Structure 1
Amino acid sequence: MKLLVVEDELHVRERIAYGIDWENYEIEVAGAVGNGKEAIIAVEKDCIDIVITDIHMPDMSGLELAKMLQNEYPHVKVIILTGYDHFEYARDSIDYGVFKYLVKPAENELVRETVVRAKQLREQELNDIHNIAFLKMRWKEHLPHLKQLFYKNWLNGRYSSWELDKRSQEISFSLAGKKFVPVTLDMDPLAETNDRFLADERPLIQYSLFNITQDVMEGTDSIVLQDDDGLTAIIFFAPASEEESGFQLKVNQQLSRLLSTVRSCLKLTASAGIGTCVEDHALLPIAYKQSRMALQERIVLGNDTVIPYRNDAPAKSPWLNMNDLEKEIEMAVETGNESKRSELIRILMDMGFSPSHQIADAKEMLLRITALLTRIVNSHGWSLRETLAEDYTDFMNFNQLLAKEQLVEWLHRMMARISRSISERRRSGTHITVSEIMAFIDRHLYEEELSLYFVAEKMYMNYSYASRIFKEVTGSSFSDNVLKLRMEKAKELLATGIKVYEVAEQVGYKHVNYFSRSFQKYWGIKPSEMNK
């Protein structure tokens, strides 16, 4: 739930926005603004659920804001917090759909309880809108797309072991107790005598093959999808207890029927490559690559044929686990998680550098590690030389590492260097962004509607991101910084003898009385007393 605080008194605004531990109640303070106009911008730009607002504010009263929200955003729960205990105000607040009318000084506990009740009401409304039956209907509509995405990513080896298990459960497809045979289908090159299709219509022909395959395979134990290259893929599956020879015979029969149907419908031929049968679902991506390699043999064997892969079936090896480990290493390096990096280095040592392993395997694993670290650096658009700095030479001489202890130290140092570089560049980018925001504020200090929403929009930034980095770098809120700059600028201008109303305009205040009150509250003296 997102909460917006609208209050022109800075200390009250800060007390409500930051003096209550809203996170414990799953409430996010999306903004804390000083007037109704800023509030409207905030509601328009963000998905605000609850608004706490004062009544008396410059330009727009809290009741006017409540009325506008009732007309434009009726889902927003408005809580009035004011020092005026007038019957007329309370009556109007009821007319404008205000959730609760609180009179200052309201203790933090009362404000918190009121907001939590408003949150509960909003959650109930959302639950009524998005009821279970509706969600089930939407899920059923979306499920075919999710299944196709899962099968495609599975075939292409994009899932780690735990992801594969998790994703398969999400689409209710059990991987256990099955054996699999992957097949790749492709339309054969068009013959010179073809007069039905043009050469540039190959994508259409491939799509026709996919549709025919879906129709022919309907009702069989198979999954049909289109790969990233436009090729049609089939995953045949059978119980693990079924004889492999019988399973393969069934696959061949169904493929023969399919290619015959393609000839009849399109007057063209297609060919199929069959991968080896696997029971370990983690091996399916390798078997699928085999099916694609088998298909390439039609150059020799001719078109309109089914070609099995004839070499050894894939076997489980440490290299499959390495794929998962590389993803974890990349995450640990990117996030700067030192303890996780140490744990993964230990696992690496056990996998490839124990006394029982061959030297050739250890060297190959070391090559993979250097390639992984290089890829991490290059993915940011950086070079190894500028990223590793003084460690660059040692990185390039990795083949001179002679002992396991040397390798462990080398891995720790290289991963730490890359993590540190990523972190430093992120911080540098953050500081540059905040400097740009501060420069923008300085140039637009005269603008009355100078809010973080206004700045974020003009600088093409996300409001939530801008708010977080601004507070992180400066240590204070956007509104505090703007107030400080305005008051310092106003003091400087008044010292030169400029009239109060002119100064008010130059620092973004439309009403001179409101400016005078703010100035006196900030500096302890009235603007008119500056030169006395």
Structure 2
Amino acid sequence: MNLMIVEDEVGIRTRIAETIPWEAHGIEVVGLAENGVEALRLMECAQPDIVILDIQMPEMDGLTLARRIADSDPGIKMIILSGYEDFEYARSAMESGVLKYLIKPAGNEEIRAAVLEAASLVQRELQERLSREALQRRWESHLPRLRELFLGQWLAGAYSRWEIERRMTELLIEMKPGRLLAVAVLEPDPLVAGEERFRDGDSALLRFSLRSIAGEVVQDRETSIIQDLHGATVILLQSTEEEPQGDFQLRAGFTVTKVLSTMKDCLKITASAGISRTTADWEKLPVLYDQARKALQLRVVYGHHIAIPYGEEREGQDPLMPAPSDERDLEIGIGTGDTQKAEAALDRLLQDTVHQAATVEEVQDGLLLVMHTLLRIVRTLNWPLREAAGEDIVYFHDVGQLQTREQIRSCLQRIVGRLTAYAVRRTQPGSHKLIQKLLSLIEEEIGQQEISLHSIAGRFYVNKSYLSRLFKHEVGEPFSQYVLRRKMIRAKQVLAEGGQVQQAAQQVGYANIGFFSKVFHKYWGVLPSEVKGAPWTS
């Protein structure tokens, strides 16, 4: 049993700690503190069961300390040592959870008896918590969660046969011999455009809701419902005695469909499911789970709000290839900011790839092909992908987030819209009057050695951070990048018109010709001397 002593008088603190034979009573002094602040700092590592504390101490008094201890751990027993006989002090102490209130100068025997009484109370409470009946109740309350964890690991193929048998016995799971088994995997469908009540970040909430709805709808005691490691709802169905296979399959389909319909009725959100084949061999449960997950993937072919039984996929057709003219039209539409032309080309590309696909693999191949085309166009135009695609850049990194044809079409249309809008912003500088003035100023002062956003913000009497964000929003690129681009274009124009390298450097504010040549080469990929006298192109 651990004891802490909190007393600001060194003599009393030392006497209690060293002159009472605590070890003979199974008590260990684990901490000495001279005030409440120090005591709180020691408590986390010392973990006392009993605390002796004075009332009047510097920095934090004993009654405040007692309340803090009671709030953090009500099981700690506290004994007050006080020089005050006032009833109000005693009453406040008892209200703070103090077990004993001793008046100074309390002798060793009185203190020892109070501590042993507290230790006896701690021991009785511990025994009550750890009694067989209490442990049995706690075990039974945790049993559903333990079963769910076990089934999730079993579905993932983490156990051998002997481990499965042992864990089923421990967790009171009964798989009746000869009964048919089937597995269904359910997931919410991707949110459709225009959905306002839920966002993409609510996927965990929607998965939990689907799991809860399944638990309410399916009341069969021989049916288990869990969430797998991916967050999907898994329903493990077991046939009744002598139930024909066909009837069992039909019941499994009706059960899953009812859950999907309830989800739609309650939340106005659709979900889909994959349903495995059936088997009487419980060792093949991971195989059934894999079949159900594969069946669910077919919603990319068949659409939303559907229960799909597992079956052999038909062989794929010849590879789907888009027409080169459609790719060219898409590039021209995006590069010129022609939204109508770009969207029409995208529709034709999707028709030739994703919409003609007959298998999950063909849909995924078609999607990758279109995404690769968009990425190539952005790189050809020398655009920063993150700026051009905005929030939709995540789909370039993980196309697996697009799980249905509807979601693929909506996402790609949005990306093309962002790209064409970006093209327009780059060719048409902002209409904001302040930005127009700033663009004119840059052209006028481009020959200066440094054009600083800080100094310009001061001249316009605006906040630098605000001006930086406004400039990027209106022009489509950061201030420093725009200034560099204008300088490099002006320098290239001077050189193309026959100007000397030194003249070009001076006209764009570079005093050091060597540094100018280095910057020019990094930007254009050629040295200034290679451009001198060449035909001018922007």
The TM-score with structure 1 as length reference comes to: 0.37
Higher RCO (C-alpha 8 Å, min separation 6): 1
Could you say which structure has the larger radius of gyration? Answer: 2
